Amino acid sequence: MAMADQPAGKSFRLSMLLYDTRYRSITIQVIMLTLFVIGVWWLINNMYTNLAIANKAPDFGFLWNPSGYDINQHMIDYSSQSTNARAWLVGLLNTLLVAFLGCILATVLGVFIGVLRLSKNWIISRLMTVYIETFRNVPVLLWILFANSIFIDTLPQPKTFRGENATSHMLWDAFAFTNRGFYIPKPTFGEGYLPVLIVFALSIVAIFIFRKWAYKRQEATGEILPVFWIGVGLFFIPAIVTQLVMGSPIGLEYPALKGFNFKGGFHLRNSLISLWLALSLYTAAFIAEAVRAGIMAINKGQSEAAAALGLRQNRVMSLVVLPQALRVIIPPLISQYLNLTKNSSLAIAVGYMDLTGTLGGITLNQTGRALECILLLMLTYLAISLTISMVMNIYNNSVKLKER
Amino acid sequence: MKKSLLLGTIAAVGVLAGAASAATLDDVKANGVLKCGVSTGLVGFAAPDANGRWEGFDVAVCRAVAAAVLGDSDAVQFVPLSSKVRFTALNSGEVDMLARNTTWTFSRDVDLGLTFVGVNYYDGQGFMARKDLGVGSATELDGATICIQTGTTTELNLADYFRSNGMSYEPVPIETNAEAQQQFLSGACDVLTTDASGLAATRATFEHPEDFMIMPEIISKEPLGPLVREGDEPWSDIVRWTLNALITAEEKGITKDNVEQMAAAAGNDPEINRLLGTEGDLGGMLGLDKQWAMRAIAAGGNYGELFEANVGENTPVGLSRGLNALWTQGGLIYTPPFR
Amino acid sequence: MKPEPYVRREMLAPQPAPLGETGILRWMKANLFSGPVNSVISIAAGLFVLYVLYRLLPWAIQPSWNATSLSQCQDDPNITGACWGVIHDRFNQLMFAFYPHELQWRPLLAFGLMFVAIAPVLFDKVPRFLLAFTAMFPLLAIWLLWGGSAWPELMVLAGFFIGYAVHKALVGPAGELTAIILGVLATLLWWIFGVSPVAEMLQGVVPLDITPVESSKFGGLMLSITIGLAGIAFSFPLGIILALGRQSDMFIIKTLSVGYIEFIRGVPLITLLFVASVLLNYFLPRGTNFDLILRVVIMVTLFAAAYMAEVIRGGLAALPKGQYEAADALGLDYWKAMRLIIMPQALKISIPGIVGTFIGLFKDTTLVSIIGLLDPIGLANSIRGTTDWNGIVWELYLFIALMFWVFTFSMSRYSMYLENKLKTTH
């Protein structure tokens, strides 16, 4: 082995490989690496032997064949004539969608509940404790099934909306909540919609510029501007004015009952909503605990000092406690985001067509390429996880206490 | 022969790798047990009864093969397999044969390294809906929401059917039968689709079966049959001809009750004689003894008897013979001759 | 004569505090109605709780315990809500699935003995010799659960003694390290080549067997607990090794550990379970066939080990550097320092994390229903598929949720108690 090349000195003996601390770590590492390589080789060799007997070499060609099945929720064009690779992409997008929505809702709920859990109001803090202990102590799979069953069993069927003596009605003629999902209006873009969008984008840029300016001004003069309300105004007013001036090019398409189902509008399927809610509610319980721990970790003197400066209760929270607590909260938050994303693979239990449902489910079943599909599946999840933790770590480093 | 040792049940697995043998027959004889992959539980085809004994139409094929090869219809280890793992389990040698209502298709036969040895049930995909939905035919299903059980050929047939008829639909893929029933019964989907035999079995468990109708259209051919690994001809021959023996037995009027008596001495029909080993040595050609077919038939009866006992009209599943009648009675069940 | 100014001569009897400042009223004032906003919130929250109970309790409290099918509940005019008969009817199944009725004392006994086994780990006052029982417990549990001959388990146990004997015999002539390596080698060789034939032979001489139970009969809560406990027990040593590997300054060992940990933590458990159920056979020599529960336990162990390693690494990192330096200063070598100084402290710090990992793992055992094992959720699906209980949903799910809740909640409370007890700072 590589050892023979080592400058061994005058009195090199073989036993020095084990007993001389200079060489021992190298010996151990070489042995470990050899064992590792042999182990991996053994597994791969077995795999090739087994596949050779079945006349099946690993082959990723199936990815470019038509998939043959339909997927109900696809964010890009997809039909049963599309390739398996495209089905994989559709699944990936669906996974990312539910993970993204889930992380947002879970964070909002989690922070809210975590802060409320520390409330001085007894009944509120008790209620939050009950929430946290209920949600985090029951398997998430059960919550997903639960949410799905609630939607299926308690919401009305589309056909009850029909006819003169309908037993269910749409909300404002725009929203329909059925046991096949939620139907909500969808924006339609008519002639001349572009200026409206541009104005809208510009006003968002303006909000940011204004906030920066207001901050600078506060630093300089101590005067606090009503940033929030001006921001809200900037957000809505210019876009609405342009919309009216241009003759309302952006309209809404309302869902309407046609045939078996509602047509038009967005269709948020049951599977998506139940998965999203269950994952968010479950993860929110963990985030709430992290938030609570983060706030508790801040020295009481900090809030007392802030109160002594004359800050009001909510300002103490938002200006002094939360920014410091954030540093403690971020690392567990990252791992909760990762958990949520990984748990979204349980979508298969409610028929949401995520990565596990398409690539690891139907494609695997229909092509029989188990090895290739599961390999790709794991690598995709790994890539997602690494990306999330990379992005979040960059953020974490930016808020970390800079020690000088 | 390679042997692997599982130590205690802790995770220490040590293995003496050796050249893999392709002769399943030798393995089965050496183990003294046939490992047969079956469905995880489909009433009538493969399901454990209250005492944990596996019963059903597919199970009967396994038992017949075990009887032919090992002389004991109970020398079978039933391995329940989900649709996801069934082919890998067969390919990796976890089971010796698969009798798991599996559809014989081109790509499975050619691409997946499997050999289908015959058909024991001719099925087709159908639709079930509530009667008050007001739909009498599958061609009126444009825009409907359809519950499908994933992992079967059903999904592909459904996509093809709607595409070729220029109709749209909303698929609701569901992993388990229980979920599918819940969604269907609560109206989360308009239509439930799977093999017609499965629909009949499912409807039988409903509280008010009369409220539901199975539509007349059968949109696909689903020949279900046992299969083995590719590349082991002697073994696939054994499974194929065991199945054929059961069918020929029905054709020739050999039943569970009279098979011993007919095998005792040569009769007038030379094919019966060859089948039951009183003339020639067909068993020897398979690598078995002369009585192999006699034992296979004695295990549970001929094809017709197995059908009636497991899925026939007097069972809860209540299927009529239909396509699965003998060719002499207008069905498709037909075997090459024993000659 | 001026009147004498009024001077009270006797003490006033102490008065109780005003009604609004004591007892429940004061408490309510302080905690519920401390201001107008708070009062409104409290009243709203109170009404919400009452409303939920008002809707839930009439549904839940039903005389349906003895029903034997859903239609019986629906036909009974006295029953207007939950049909709890399904829990009564299938209780045994939800606990043990198809484990033979007359043998169910075995898993129960194993479960009970588990507490004896973990007692010496958790409490210092328990006699030390019980640690030997702890070490033997996994093998004992396997024997009790699966039954069959006890000889393979005994022979596996004998492997440890063989290793120890080889080490003892060689430590003089060949030196410490060689003796350890050869001892481990001897144990492995014995396990690979010796255990099966010797156990078979001894079984022929002295039959030592109880009724075997197939894995396919396992299920219910028993399966969840078995997988959870086996996963945590086997992943613990693996996790320690990985954590040490990750802390190590040997490049290759560190890289392998980090790679393993990050890979496992980056993929969902369900994909690993797919590997267990679909792929594992491909990676083993042809004809290797062992049952699904064992494959799942292996995968769950590998999965939990990565998380365990991170928890223990946290414990190692939390130790002040002085502890490591002190150990070095005493002249202890690596293993001695780890065994005597570092690990006892690091593990103590990690206990809440370890319990947390276990709770997570226990909840994750429900995922095995997706690959077709009959854990409580898998059983719920099959119960709902029968004619009797076709269409029952809430009662089963609620019951399963409650079972898990009771276990995980008590474990998390226990971990909080331990955390407080082990605090050495003031």
> Could you give the CA distance from residue B276 to residue B244 in angstroms, rounded to a whole number?
13
> Could you give the CA distance from residue C426 to residue C418 in angstroms, rounded to a whole number?
15
Taking the Cβ of residue A55 and every Cβ of chain C, the question of whether any pair is shorter than 8 Å is answered with no
| CB contacts, 8 Å: B83 with chain A | 365
> Nearest Cα to B293, choosing from B227, B331, B239?
B239
The residues with which A188 forms a beta bridge, in sequence order, are: A251
Q: Count of CB atoms within 10 A of residue A26's CB?
A: 17
> Could you give the CA distance from residue B219 to residue B164 in angstroms, rounded to a whole number?
11
| CB contacts, 8 Å: A361 with chain C | none
DSSP A292-346: HHHHHHS-HHHHHHHHHTT--HHHIIIIIIHHHHHHHHHHHHHHHHHHHHHHGGG
More reliable by pLDDT, B92 or C113: C113
The CA-based dihedral angle spanning residues C35, C36, C37, C41, taken in that order and rounded to the nearest 10 degrees? 100
What are the Cα distances from residue C389, in Å, to B130, B181, B207?
20, 12, 10
Is B188 within 8 Å of A152 when comparing Cβ atoms?
A: yes
Q: SS3 string of B150-214?
A: CCCCHHHHHHHHHHHCCCCEEEEEECCHHHHHHHHHCCCCCEEEEEHHHHHHHHHHCCCHHHEEE
> Nearest Cα to C166, choosing from C187, C139, C142, C136?
C187
What type of residue sits at position B334?
Y
> Using one digit for the tens of pLDDT, what is the confidence trace for C95-105?
888 888 888 88
Burial C208-217 (b: 16+ CB within 10 A, else e): eeeeebebbb
Name the residue facing C401 among A28, A120, A142 (closest C-beta).
A142
pLDDT of residue A67: 87
CB of A386 closer than 8 Å to CB of A372:
no
> Could you give the CA distance from residue C46 to residue C52 in angstroms, rounded to a whole number?
10
Please state the domain extents for chain C: 85-99+216-422, 149-210
- Residues 6 or more apart whose CB falls under 8 angstroms from that of C98 comprise B52, C216, C217, C218, C219, C374
> Could you give the CA distance from residue A327 to residue A395 in angstroms, rounded to a whole number?
10
Is C142 within 8 Å of B10 when comparing Cβ atoms?
A: yes
| CB contacts, 8 Å: C138 with chain B | 10
Tell me the average pLDDT of chain C: 84
Residue C425: pLDDT band with limits 50, 70, 90 = low
Pick among A50, A149, A151 to test the C interface (most C CBs inside 10 A): A50
pLDDT of residue C238: 92
Residue C89: pLDDT band with limits 50, 70, 90 = confident
Task: Using the predicted structure, report yes or no on whether residue C202 has a pLDDT greater than 90.
Answer: no
| CB contacts, 8 Å: B10 with chain C | 138-139, 142, 156, 234
| CB contacts, 8 Å: C275 with chain A | 374
pLDDT of residue B7: 33
Name the residue facing C271 among A141, A149, A360 (closest C-beta).
A360
> Using one digit for the tens of pLDDT, what is the confidence trace for B22-39?
688 888 888 888 999 988
Match domain B3-122+224-262+289-329 to its CATH number in 3.40.50.2000, 3.90.850.10, 3.40.190.10, 3.40.50.10860: 3.40.190.10
> Using one digit for the tens of pLDDT, what is the confidence trace for C279-316?
887 888 776 667 788 889 999 999 999 999 999 988 88
Return the DSSP state at A86: H
Q: What is the CATH number of domain C85-99+216-422?
A: 1.10.3720.10
> Nearest Cα to A352, choosing from A214, A148, A215?
A148
CB of C179 closer than 8 Å to CB of C170:
yes
> Could you give the CA distance from residue C194 to residue C188 in angstroms, rounded to a whole number?
9
> Using one digit for the tens of pLDDT, what is the confidence trace for C11-40?
888 887 777 667 777 777 777 777 788 888
> Nearest Cα to C92, choosing from C388, C406, C379?
C379
Q: What interhelical angle do A270-297 and A84-117 show, nearest 10?
A: 40
Is A180 within 8 Å of B142 when comparing Cβ atoms?
A: no
pLDDT of residue A194: 80
Give the tokens for residue A166.
């309908």
Pick among B92, B181, B183 to test the C interface (most C CBs inside 10 A): B92
Residue B54 sits at φ, ψ, to 5 deg, of -75, 135
Q: Count of CB atoms within 10 A of residue C161's CB?
A: 11
More reliable by pLDDT, C381 or C228: C228
Please state the domain extents for chain B: 3-122+224-262+289-329, 125-220
CB of C195 closer than 8 Å to CB of C175:
no
The alpha-carbon gap from A262 to the nearest alpha carbon of chain C, in Å, equals: 26
Is C282 within 8 Å of A342 when comparing Cβ atoms?
A: no
Question: How many cross-chain Cβ pairs, A to C, lie less than 8 Å apart?
Answer: 141
DSSP C189-202: HIIIIIHHHHHHHH
Is C287 within 8 Å of B93 when comparing Cβ atoms?
A: yes
A-contacting chains (≥3 CB pairs under 8 Å): B, C
Q: Is A84-185+254-399 CATH 3.40.50.261?
A: no
Q: Residues 139..178 of B with a Cβ closer than 8 Å to C: which?
A: 175-178
| CB contacts, 8 Å: C46 with chain A | 123
Name the residue facing B94 among C152, C289, C390 (closest C-beta).
C289
CB of C113 closer than 8 Å to CB of C137:
yes
pLDDT of residue C327: 87
In Å, how far from its chain's centre is CA C254?
28
Structure pTM? 0.85
Residue positions counted in chain A = 404
Is C363 within 8 Å of A140 when comparing Cβ atoms?
A: yes
Give the tokens for residue B130.
């509530």
More reliable by pLDDT, A235 or C108: C108
CB of C285 closer than 8 Å to CB of B17:
yes
DSSP C114-144: HHHHHHHHH-TTS-TTHHHHHHHHHHHHHHH
Is B7 within 8 Å of C217 when comparing Cβ atoms?
A: no
Taking the Cβ of residue A157 and every Cβ of chain B, the question of whether any pair is shorter than 8 Å is answered with yes
Is C267 within 8 Å of A25 when comparing Cβ atoms?
A: no
Pick among A17, A348, A378, A389 to test the C interface (most C CBs inside 10 A): A378
> Could you give the CA distance from residue C313 to residue C244 in angstroms, rounded to a whole number?
7
Q: Count of CB atoms within 10 A of residue A144's CB?
A: 26
| CB contacts, 8 Å: C153 with chain B | 8
> Nearest Cα to C280, choosing from C292, C270, C268?
C292
CB of A243 closer than 8 Å to CB of A203:
no
Question: How many cross-chain Cβ pairs, A to B, lie less than 8 Å apart?
Answer: 119
If you measure CA to CA, which chain A residue comes closest to B150? A362
| CB contacts, 8 Å: B76 with chain C | none
- Which burial class, exposed, middle or buried, applies to C21 when counting CB atoms under 10 A from its CB (0-12, 13-18, 19+)? exposed
Question: How many cross-chain Cβ pairs, B to C, lie less than 8 Å apart?
Answer: 122
Task: Using the predicted structure, report yes or no on whether residue B6 has a pLDDT greater than 60.
Answer: no
Task: Using the predicted structure, report yes or no on whether residue B70 has a pLDDT greater than 90.
Answer: yes
Taking the Cβ of residue B329 and every Cβ of chain C, the question of whether any pair is shorter than 8 Å is answered with no
Please state the domain extents for chain A: 84-185+254-399
Task: Using the predicted structure, report yes or no on whether residue B14 has a pLDDT greater than 60.
Answer: no
Residue with tokens 């017709």: B304
C-contacting chains (≥3 CB pairs under 8 Å): A, B
Q: Roughly how many angstroms between the first and final C-alpha of chain A, as a whole number?
A: 48
A222: left (phi over 0), alpha (psi -120 to 50) or beta: left
Name the residue facing A351 among B83, B142, B174 (closest C-beta).
B174
CB of B62 closer than 8 Å to CB of B78:
yes
B-contacting chains (≥3 CB pairs under 8 Å): A, C
CATH class given for the domain over B125-220:
alpha beta
What type of residue sits at position B254?
I
CB of C227 closer than 8 Å to CB of C218:
no
pLDDT of residue B4: 31
Give the tokens for residue C115.
């507490």
Low-confidence ranges of chain A (pLDDT < 50): 1-8
Give the tokens for residue A59.
């082959």
Share of chain C above pLDDT 70, in %: 95
Q: Residues 68..87 of B with a Cβ closer than 8 Å to C: which?
A: 80, 82, 84-85
> Could you give the CA distance from residue B273 to residue B260 in angstroms, rounded to a whole number?
12
DSSP C324-384: HHHHHHTT--HHHHIIIIIHHHHHHHHHHHHHHHHHHHHHHGGGGGTTT--SHHHHHHHHH
More reliable by pLDDT, C9 or B218: B218
